[in-house]
Amino acid sequence: MSKVVEISPTTRHEGHTKLVLKINDEGIVERGDWLSLTPVRGIEKLAVGKSMHQVPKIASRVCGICPIAHTLAATEAMEASVGCYVPEDAMLLRYILQCANRLHSHALHNILSLPDMYLPGTDTKINPFTPEEPVRSVALRIQKLREVGQTVGEIVGGEAIHPSNPRVGGMYKNITPRAREKIYDLAKEALPLARDHMEFMISVFKNFQNRDTVEVGGMEVPVPDTFGFHNQGYMATAPVYGSSSLDDDPTWFPERWTEVRPWDWYMGETEIDYDEPNYPIGGTTPAGNKAWPQMEACMGVPLYDGQPVEVGPRARMVQYRNFDLKGAMGLQIARQMEYMDCIYGMMEAADALNTSGKVLADEIPQGDGTLGWAANEAPRGSDVHLVKVKDGRVRWYSLLVPTTWNFPTCSRALEGAPWQLAEVIVRAYDPCVSCATHMLVVNEDKRIVAQKLIE
Amino acid sequence: MLFREIVVVGCGNPLFADDGFGPAVVEELQKLDLPEKVKVIDGGLGGPHYLFTLMAHSDEPVKKLIVVDIADFGGKPGTLVRLTPEDLPPGSYRDVHSWNMVEPLQLLKDRVEIAIIGCQPKRVTEPNVELGLSDEVEKAIPKAVRHVLKEIGVDDGATIKVKADLGEEGTTPAQGGP
């Protein structure tokens, strides 16, 4: 007899989501619904009427984690709509930026994934913040890789978080020969670290998959051989960078994309009739509460060829590298393998870059309302922006962000797993759910604050 | 270089009205000729995970971090406060996106001097998008700039120059300046 358990909110990822899980008597998920709780903000509507130069800046603010991916996808979607071809040296700079962003993002995701994992050969779970070896060295390595990614991103992008250098038509400025040397030196420094780190992380994820059981909140639960498997397809547009409708041979097709409402996809109203107070961080939702995923999900459900698809590192590896590992740990392993792409990608693009080359198109057309799209291979997968620009103004705009693609696919991957491990599957996708606001809230007791009023 | 001796980070999202205060202050600061040892960064929503968590182990030691953000302390909109990590309840800068990571500012505070310039917002429209700050918060920008410059230190030249440009305490600077 099925029971329903709810994990809300899910943790150690970006954004606000929940899991509603129908489980059997053994606690195995029969149907899993993973849904976004981050409210819809209507950014696509806000963009209408704004200039094609302004909208990428707005788009970069929809997420605090992926501003680079959104800047690049939005900028190139504008260029695709107006038919503006960008100089090669500008594209090389964007390529370096992409590699830097992915390097940082993957390294950061390791910190979020490691607490679920064990040190290989032991029954010790990994606390990435412990000062003890060998974890401390791993943590320092992660920080170094992040710092290299951020520094290279800043050199090329102009700013480390919201890149100011990319613009419609190319880049505002090229980099100096000295800056190019700096990028090369940083990449060379990171190369052996990235290789060691990739190997370590892969051994950690393989170890998890090979264990008979793992511990969650004091419960010892089995790890199925098919942990996190699904039978959906994959969608990727390039091994590293992406594609746009300006390409001679585009690798994404808008006519294959459809979008349905969460109402058509998720479970109807249901009562939560199983709970577990020992589940980490406050237990699951108490029994007796209601869940209504159809109504609560705050996103569209995009389909490709009428089906959910997986996007992200494994999709890229499957499509371009004959990668064949399935499951949650297969996805994690694919992500680690991209470290080397990031480092070599930076070096090769820096090698090819002519620092005296022009980086801005001679002419930037103003557009006649043609549909243009650009898919940027963000760390989490294809970030597709579609736009129609006419007379320099955005007339229609749509964003299909990576985790939106992954929500329904990951929901299917939950089936067959012990419910206690559902979050481990979710984290394997490195979800980046479009952000809510950021606010610093101060204590109820306002006396301390009041004393420090300065204006 | 990613960091320097003094790092100023403006936090917040300009898509949600007054939440854009931090980036707006950064935009003003970037117009100034600041000392070499100062780095000003628009942190957007990425401050905690892109910057704060990196400073503790950086090869380039950060001595002082100045965070500019909105702070809801029940004051009059546009009022500024100076806070330190000790003033903040747990979770304020852990991470806004339920990552459940160890709080980066708490980790940093023993190595780096941290000052937080907080501004009481009038309205934060999340999840609805609204561009532009309220008048009250807009008027707090030059004041916040001045306080950041004070934090940077009067021995660095820029402060004195800008003080002169700012004119009277609390007034909006003339068009084009500082």
Q: How far B52 CA sits from the closest chain A CA (Å)?
A: 11
Question: Which of left, alpha, beta for A272 (phi over 0: left; psi -120 to 50: alpha)?
Answer: beta
Q: Do B15 and A58 touch (CB under 8 A)?
A: yes
CB-CB under 8 Å, B72 with A160: no
Distance from CA of A12 to the nearest CA of B (A): 4
Query: Which residue is closest to A453 within chain B, CA to CA?
Result: B81
Residues facing A360 on adjacent strands: A170
**B15, B131, B147, best to mutate vs chain A, most A CBs in 10 Å:** B15
Higher-scoring residue by pLDDT: A344, B53: A344
A260 touching B (Cβ < 8 Å): no
Distance separating alpha carbons of residues A75 and A393, to the nearest angstrom: 13
**Chain A touched by B151 (CB under 8 Å):** no
- Using the structure block, give the residue that is written with the tokens 């680690």: A336
**Strand ranges inside chain B, DSSP E:** 6-11, 38-44, 64-72, 80-83, 113-119
Q: Using the beta-carbon criterion (under 8 Å), do B80 and A154 form an inter-chain contact?
A: no
Of A15, A58, A150, which has the smallest distance from its Cβ to B54's Cβ?
Answer: A150
What is the chain A residue with the closest CA to B3?
A151
Under 8 Å between Cβ of A81 and A389: yes
* Nearest chain A CA: its distance from B175 CA (Å): 22
Residues 37-66 of B with CB under 8 A from A: 41-46, 49-51, 53-54, 56-59
Chain A residues inside the 8 Å CB shell of B73: 442, 446, 449-450
CA pair distance B117, B132, nearest whole angstrom:
20
Angle between helix A88-113 and A67-82 (nearest 10): 150
Q: Flag whether residue B12 sits within 8 Å of chain A, measured between CB atoms.
A: yes
**pLDDT over 90 at B86, yes or no:** no
Q: How many CB pairs under 8 A join A and B?
A: 182
CA dihedral A293, A294, A297, A299 (to 10 degrees): 150
Residue to substitute from B4, B39, B41, B49, interface A, most A β-carbons within 10 A: B49
Kindly report the number of other CB atoms within 10 A of residue A450's CB atom.
Answer: 12
Question: Using a CB-CB distance cutoff of 8 angstroms, which residues of chain B are in contact with residue A453?
Answer: 75, 79-81
Closest CA to A27 of A216, A213, A221, A194: A221
Give the phi and the psi of residue A304 in degrees, each rounded to 5: -125, 125
B46–A436 CB contact, under 8 Å? no
Altogether, the residues listed in chain A come to a count of: 455
Predicted local distance difference test score (pLDDT) of residue B94: 61
Question: Could you tell me the CA-to-CA distances from A326 to A85, A234, A340 in Å, in that order?
Answer: 38, 12, 21
E strands, A141-298, are: 166-167, 170-171, 213-216, 219-222, 233-234, 242-244, 257-260, 270-271, 290-291
CB A97 within 8 A of CB A379: no
Q: Rounded distance, CA B87 to CA B75, Å? A: 16
d(CA B143, CA B126) in angstroms, rounded, equals 25
Quick one: tokens of B167?
């004119």
pLDDT for res B98: 47
> Nearest CA of chain B to the CA of A435: how many Å?
7
A43, A440, A455 ranked by CB distance to B79: nearest: A455
Q: How confident is the model at residue B178 (pLDDT cuts 50, 70, 90)?
A: very low
> Using only C-alpha atoms, what is the Rg of chain B?
16
Whose structure tokens read 């320099």? A392
Q: Give the residue ranges of chain A where pLDDT is below 70.
A: 40-41, 434-455
Q: Which of B11, B90, B4, B13 is nearest to B49 (CA)?
A: B11
The closest alpha carbon to B87, from A431, A444, A300, belongs to: A444
Helix (H, G, I), strand (E, B) or coil at B74: coil
**Tokens (6 digits) for A83:** 């038919």
Q: What is the pLDDT of residues B94-111, one digit of tens each?
A: 654 545 556 778 878 888
Q: Do B99 and A14 touch (CB under 8 A)?
A: yes
Distances (CA, A) of A417 to A10, A158, B127: 16, 44, 34
Nearest CA distance, A16 vs chain B (angstrom) = 7
Nearest to A200 by CA among A321, A123, A101, A117: A117
Closest CA to A226 of A415, A15, A448: A415
pLDDT of amino acid A442: 53
Higher-pLDDT residue of B44 and A436 is B44
> What does chain B come to in residues?
178
Q: Which residues of B touch A49 (CB under 8 A)?
A: none
Min distance B94 CA to chain A CA atoms (Å): 10
Chain A contact for B136 (CB, 8 A cutoff): no
The pLDDT score that the predictor gives to residue B95 is 56
pLDDT in the model for residue B163: 44
Cβ distance B97 to A454 less than 8 Å, yes or no, reads no
Closest Cα in chain B, distance from residue A58 (Å): 7
The torsion defined by the Cα of B158, B161, B163 and B168, in degrees rounded to 10, comes to -160
Determine contact: B175 vs chain A, CB below 8 A: no
Inform me whether the C-beta atom of residue B130 falls under 8 Å from chain A C-beta atoms: no
Closest CA to A11 of A2, A1, A19: A19
- Give the pLDDT score at B47: 84
Residue A445: what pLDDT? 55
The verdict on whether omega for the bond into residue A313 sits within 30 degrees of 0, i.e. cis, is: no
Question: How high is the ipTM of this complex?
Answer: 0.78
Cβ–Cβ contacts within 10 Å for residue A447, how many? 8
Which helix (H) or strand (E) is A388 found in, with range? strand A381-390
Q: pLDDT tens digits for B5-42?
A: 999 999 999 989 999 999 999 999 998 888 889 999 99
Contact at 8 Å (CB) between A347 and A190? no
Inter-chain touch A453–B81, beta carbons under 8 Å: yes
* Residues from chain A contacting residue B58 (CB–CB below 8 Å): 147
Instruction: Inspect the interface and report whether the beta carbons of A61 and B13 lie closer than 8 Å.
Output: yes
Q: Look at residue B148 and give its three-state secondary structure.
A: helix
Say if residue B159's pLDDT is above 70: no
**Per-residue pLDDT at A434:** 64
| C-alpha triplet A235, A236, A237: angle, nearest 5° | 130
Of A67, A146, A442, the CB nearest to B72: A442
Residues in chain A within 8 Å Cβ distance of B102:
129
pLDDT value at position B165? 45
pLDDT of the residue at A262: 84
How far, rounded to the nearest angstrom, does the alpha carbon of residue A108 sit from its chain's CA centroid? 11
Residue A438, pLDDT score: 46
Question: Please, what is the angle between helix A327-352 and helix A88-113, to 10°?
Answer: 150
List the single best residue of B4, B11, B52, B54 to mutate versus A (max A Cβ within 10 A): B54
Nearest-by-Cβ selection for B101 from A42, A111, A452: A111
B158: confidence class by pLDDT, cuts 50, 70, 90: low
In a 13 Å sphere around the CA of A99, the CA atoms on its Cβ side amount to: 30
